[in-house]
Structure 1
Amino acid sequence: MKRRAYLGTLGVAGMGGLAGCLGDLPVVGNSETALGEPEQSRGNPSHPIHGDEFPTFTLPDPHAGREVSLEEFEGERAYLLTFIYTSCTDECGVLTNLLGLVQEDAVEEGYEDDVALLAMTFDPETDSPEALQEYGEQYGVDYEAENWHFLRPETEEEAMELLNEEIGVPAQIGNGDDHDEEAHDDHDNHDDGSHDDGHADHDEDAEHDDDHGDDEDDGHDHGDGEDDDHDHDDHDQEIHYYIVFLVNEQGIVERSYPNVTDDREENRPQAIIDDVRTVVE
């Protein structure tokens, strides 16, 4: 499905014609960030949030045929980063589509060299280079812009270590009962009771739930036996936290956007594009 077909899901129309220009956007941050502190603080998440340094890593981009390191963007460009797997068609499609909308706006507004769009699979056993290539074509990824990278760890173990331990984002695919429980317990250690599902820690950076609306749930699949409609036969246990990070060219987190697949957040895509414009200015 092409990315424009997802505009209805996101509750947005006409994203290609955003009003204003880069020069109209105020810079309201501090010496390290262009964006100011989020209005709401919800606990102490284990993943990086506004003002934190994002952990660097290096992963293969099978389409580009090379290793991509986050360090190569420092001093050069900001980036948006999210985590997907190709057989997660609905929510992961929204995440991919969101990055695609930013890519479209970057091309239209002339800042395509100032932002990178990064989508990391955490199911490399299924997501072969060919599968990722087909997935990108399905969602209309513009590879010619040379700012999009599908990142593919060599193994699921490497992906889980990177997400759960280094970045602090819970994720699990497969029959990882012990890992599921460990990931939930580790993340719940920061719970301040702000969310109704035991994942309050995810958001000081409810952040853009933060500036653009309150969210009561955490926007990810649950690994607690409450299956949703998006699990598939090959993945009996699943944790997926639907989050996007916006990191500036100094490697500092400007925003972590949780719950981005929640269709109640009608203005979320435009708000994120506005943030990206401000950061790259």
Structure 2
Amino acid sequence: MSDLTVLPEVNRDEEGILAGIECFALDMDGTVYLGERWIDGAKEFLREIEDSGRSYVFLTNNSSKNSQVYVEKLSRMGLVVSKDKIVTSGQATIYYLKKSFPGKRVFLLGNDMLTAEFKEEGIVLVDENPEVVVTAFDTTLTYEKLCKVCDFVREGLPYIATHPDYNCPTETGFIPDVGAVHAFIHASALRYPDRIIGKPNADMMDYLIERTGADRGKTAMVGDRLYTDIAAGRNNGLWSILVLSGEATMKDVEESEVKPHLIFDSIKEIMRYL
């Protein structure tokens, strides 16, 4: 793929990349909304995608929420979508476990919503004598849980993580995400996860392609983070589009080894090229 980068002040898709995109994989917070507020033009962009005969899905690393939570949130914000439009790192982890550890007993460090999703998909969850350890963004984390997961990791069990993020953005700033928990576990049990599923890693993007049936060369990953969203596209055969409506700045782009194919101020600016 091309190394083209389009700066926001130029804002031109000089190689006609967007004309060939059939599926947009969209990060959520910082890309289409901030908290419960749409980023300007986001809803119109989603409508334009579908009006032009293309498709989109929302792709998130956040494993503290299941797909129904996102469906309900988007509905409150005036967008009615089905759960098929939501792809999470939790779902991708379930997919990976079914392929790689079928029927194995799993200790899950996760909240009630993720636990329910794992059980609904037939994953065998246990608190004692697991065969696999899975760590997720557990918003109900306790010291007792931390002690238990460190014990299991220290035993040498296969150790899988839903995603790598150190912090989760909120309307009031950042809160510790699962990557920070991995640092705690490493300090105690001297191990990092054997495999991390979420963006920017291949397992997440393989699951995306499996779910959507899309052609990698006609799929664009759109997001506001260089090290997850843009790296996910760059490293896995998709086009990558950075929007400057969230975390990353042009200074970050200049300093990063990961370069997007295209850069826009926001997804509103992409519409003219569809």
TM-score by length of structure 2 reads 0.34
- Largest Rg, 1 or 2: 2
Higher RCO by CA contacts (8 Å cutoff, separation 6 or greater): 1
TM-score after normalising by structure 1: 0.34
Tell me which protein shows more helix as a share of its residues: 2
